[in-house]
Chains A and B, each alone.
Chain A
Amino acid sequence: MSETVTTDVAIIGAGPAGLFAVFELGLLDIKAHLIDILPKIGGQCAELYPEKPIYDIPGFPVISGQALVENLALQIQPFHPTFHLGEMVESLEVLGTPERPNFLIRTDAGTALEAKVVIIAAGGGSFQPKKPPIPRIGDYEGKSVFYAVRKIEQFRDRRVVIVGGGDSALDWVLNLHPVARRITLIHRRDAFRAAPHSVNAMRELVAEGKMDFLLGQVTGLKGDDAQLSALTLRKEDGEIIDWECDDLLPFFGLTMKLGPIADWGLDLHENLVPTDTEKFETNVPGIFAIGDIIAYPGKLKLILSGFHEGALAAQRAHRYVYPDKKLVFQYTTSSTSLQRKLGVA
Chain B
Amino acid sequence: MTKVTYIDAAGASRTVEAQIGSTVMETALRNSIPGIEAECGGACACATCHVYVAPEWTEIVGKPSQMEEDMLDFAFEVRPSSRLSCQIKVTPALDGLVVTTPAKQG
Contact = CB atoms under 8 A, between A and B. Distances in A.
Interface of A: 44, 48-49, 52, 124, 130, 132-133, 164-166, 187-189, 191, 193, 217, 252-253, 255-256
A193 B40 contact: no
A48 B43 contact: yes
Interface string B41-80: 0010111100000000000000000000110011011100
Contact of A164 (B43, B47, B73, B103): B73
B43 A52 contact: yes
Contacts of B76: 132-133, 252
Interface residues of B, number: 17
Given A130-B106, A133-B103, A255-B106, A191 B69 contact: yes
Interface of B: 39-40, 43, 45-48, 69-70, 73-74, 76-78, 103-104, 106
Nearest to A187: B73
Contacts of A49: 40, 43, 45
Nearest to A191: B69
Contacts of B106: 130, 252-253, 255
Nearest to A166: B73
Contacts of A256: 39
A217 B103 CA distance: 16
Given A133-B76, A166-B73, 15 more contacts: A44-B40, A48-B39, A49-B40, A49-B43, A52-B43, A133-B77, A188-B73, A191-B69, A193-B70, A193-B73, A217-B78, A252-B74, A252-B76, A255-B39, A256-B39
B66 to A, nearest CB: 8
A332 B79 CA distance: 55
Nearest to B44: A52
Contacts of A133: 76-77, 103-104
Contacts of B46: 48
Given A133-B77, A188-B78, A52 B45 contact: yes
A166 B72 CA distance: 12
A213 to B, nearest CB: 15
B69 A253 contact: no
A183 to B, nearest CB: 19
Contacts of B103: 133
B83 to A, nearest CB: 14
A256 B48 CA distance: 11
A23 B40 CA distance: 26
Contacts of B69: 189, 191
Across the A-B interface, the 9 shortest Cβ-Cβ residue pairs: A253-B74, A48-B45, A49-B45, A49-B43, A52-B43, A133-B104, A193-B70, A165-B73, A133-B76
